[in-house]
Every structure is written in C-alpha cells, then in structure tokens.
A = this chain, B = another copy of it.
Amino acid sequence: MINVKKTLHVGMIGSGFMGKCHANAFRAFGGLFDSPISIELYKIADINDELAAQSARTLGFEHSTSDWKALVDDPLVDIVSIAAPNALHEEIALRAIDRGKTVYCEKPLSVSTESARKMMLAVEAAGVANLVGFNFLRNPLIAVCRDMIASGKLGEIISFKGRHAENYMLNESLPHSFRTDPAGGGAVADIGSHIVSMARYLLGGISEVTARSRTIHRSRPVTLGSAELAPVEVDDLAHAILQFDSGVVGSIDVNWMSTGRSMDLSFEVTGTRGAVSFSQERMNELHIWEAGKSAGYGGFKKIETGPDHPPYGNFCPAAGHHLGFNDLKVIEVSELIDTVLTGKSNFTDFREGYRVQCAIDAILRSTKSGHWEKVAGD
C-alpha cells in the first residue's frame, strides 16, 4: 500500500467535461464522506499557461501549469487525475506510475489494447493505487443489481440485453476530432465501453463476440465550419452479440447518433428467478421482478434510490430525493480514496480498464472480419 497522508494533493491534467467533473467531485468529497483523508485541489495542467490559470481559478485549484510533466513530478502531488485526451493517457500514466503516484484515469484507459496492457502491467508492477473512471457503475442501484445477481436472487442468469445510445454525433456538420480518429475513435470505443464495462461488472468476463457496425456520416468537415470534408473511418453505430464466460449470451447496440436519446445506457438482465431492468435515462429507479409472488400479484417493481442503497445516505438522509450524474463521480472518488486507504483494488482498476478495451477491440475486429472473435485478456 502506498503512503497514506492526512491530506492528499490532487494534480489534474485536462479541464474539459471530465476535468470539471473530477474537480467538483474531489471538492464535494470531504463534505459528503466522513473520511480520514482530506483532499486538496492542488495543481492543474492544461495546454497553455492561460488556459491552465483560468481553469485553476474556475475549478478552484491553487496552482496551474502548462507543463504536465512537471505536475506529475511535483513531490507534493499524491493523486494524478488524468482527464486529458485519450491519446495522452499512456504517457501520463506511465510517468505518474513511475513517480509512485496514485493514478486516476478517465475511461477509456487508452487508445489501443497494447497501450492499455502496458499501462496495466506498469501499474501492477509498481503497486500504486489506480482506478479508471467508469462512473455509471457507481450508481447505488447498480450495486443493487450486482447484489441480486451475485446472491442468486435472480436464479441462474440466462440473458443480457444492453445498449448505449446517445445523439451527440447526429449532426453531420460536426467536424473530425479525437472521436473520429481511427486510433481509439468511433462509437464502439467511445461509449460502447460504458455498456461493456456494465456488462462485465454485472455478469463477468466476455469470451467471444460478433458484431456489425455502420458509418452513417461517411465524411465530416476537417474542422468546425470548414467546407473541406474528410472521410470518416470509424463506426457511428454497431450491434454485437456477446458470449460471456459463464455461458450467458447477450446483445448490445451502441449508437452515438441515436435520434432522441441523450443517455440511454440501459440493460435488462434475465435470470430464471428474476430480472432487473435499468436505464440511465431514469438513473434513480430500478425495475426488478422476483419469482414467488402470489398469482396475479407479480410484476416489475420500481425501486427508488434511497439510504438503503449505500452510499446514497451520504448525499441525503431521505429516500427518493435523486442523485445526479455528478454525484456518481463523487462516489467514484470515494472509491478511489478507499483504494488508497486500504490498498485493495477497486473493481475498475487498470486491469479492468484493459479488459474492457480487449472486448471493445474484439467487437471492432469482428465488424471487419465478419466472424466471431475471441476476446484477448490476461
């Protein structure tokens, strides 16, 4: 276990959507979780001094820098929070690992399985605390699902149907970006990882997949507003069948131009004695079906989040008051701190980040080969 101090200093790299989300979660943690650890928003790095300084002001960091390497090397930094573009994850993480820092990396772990594997091996060799940001798994109701599955309440699990559908790439005038970069881009890689990580969290390993993808917008502007178009080489959507290690068969669809859907990360897990149905669109409710009801009184029951679903009670003592998206990140930070304190790996450690990437990689390979593809993984 790494050296635990009373106050942990966070050094963060990147200040976009996820950077802001990390910063707010770190700030909120202290007031919501009764922890021996207090967290200091110590230093933030961004691509130039101005942006970094501005982000520091806005997000509440004490210091700023345009030199992320210096941030990582700063001996006061305990936790390196990586919210930088995916292509930089490896380099940053390897340096942070080398300096013995706790590494908190946004998903996906990296842009390729090879890269992710290198990061995983490094972090395990060094023995530093580490966590990948799969925030949707932090929902207390997802823990309820997992418990119901693990405890046998649902009987033998027989089927999984999942989806991650958003619409943020629907507009064809949206230009190329890291999202459409053949290295690590595409809907499957970008948001497919959410439903794949969810499937793995609930049902365990995936051994084999078959899939078909489509590119709908076959070209996009090279930059915003540009008349010059360049071809798109990544998928806009895909359908896949998943073979789990346990024998369960499931299917998912992934779509980043799913008209009308802004956050349909949803699934149904079917067992011989029960079922659970969830959509992030209504993240504060879970629908469960349990065998054994008297005739005519069976049905899916809508459970609302509440203090009986830890750590909901840290946010509110009364049921039904709703957690929000940002609260999930606070829970994630609390799990990161747990990992630091106890030395025990969180489920979504770098190894898990790597395995998710292997499944994503197999899906992408299958869309090209037209065959079932084995999921690598060690």
**Residues of chain A having any CB pair with chain B under 8 Å:** 17, 20-21, 23-24, 27-28, 30-32, 34, 58-60, 144, 154-156, 158-159, 161, 163, 165-166, 168, 170, 210-214, 216, 236-241, 243, 247, 249-251, 253, 255, 257-263, 270-275, 277, 280-285, 288-289, 291, 295-304, 306, 308-309, 315-327, 370-372
Contact = CB atoms under 8 A, between A and B. Distances in A.
A210 B259 CA distance: 26
A contact face: mostly helix, strand, loop, or mixed: mixed
> A17, A24, A59, A301 — which one has the most chain B CB atoms within 10 A of its CB?
A301
9 contacts: A158-B236, A158-B237, A159-B253, A211-B241, A213-B249, A251-B253, A257-B272, A262-B321, A263-B318
B306 A297 contact: no
B20 A24 contact: no
B30 A60 contact: yes
Contact of A24 (B32, B34, B295, B321): B32
B303 A302 contact: no
B320 A281 contact: yes
Contacts of A213: 249
Given A259-B273, A262-B318, A299-B301, 20 more contacts: A17-B318, A159-B214, A159-B255, A161-B239, A166-B320, A211-B241, A212-B243, A214-B247, A214-B249, A240-B241, A258-B270, A259-B271, A260-B270, A260-B274, A260-B298, A262-B319, A297-B301, A301-B302, A321-B324, A322-B325
B296 A303 contact: yes
Nearest to A269: B259
B259 A306 contact: no
B324 A315 contact: yes
Contacts of A319: 262-263
Given A249-B237, A257-B158, A23 B31 contact: yes
A368 B263 CA distance: 36
Contact of A302 (B24, B163, B299): B299
Contacts of A327: 324, 326
Given A300-B302, A324-B323, A326-B324, A259 B163 contact: no
A249 B212 contact: yes
A276 to B, nearest CB: 9
A283 B239 CA distance: 26
Contacts of A320: 166, 261-263, 280-281
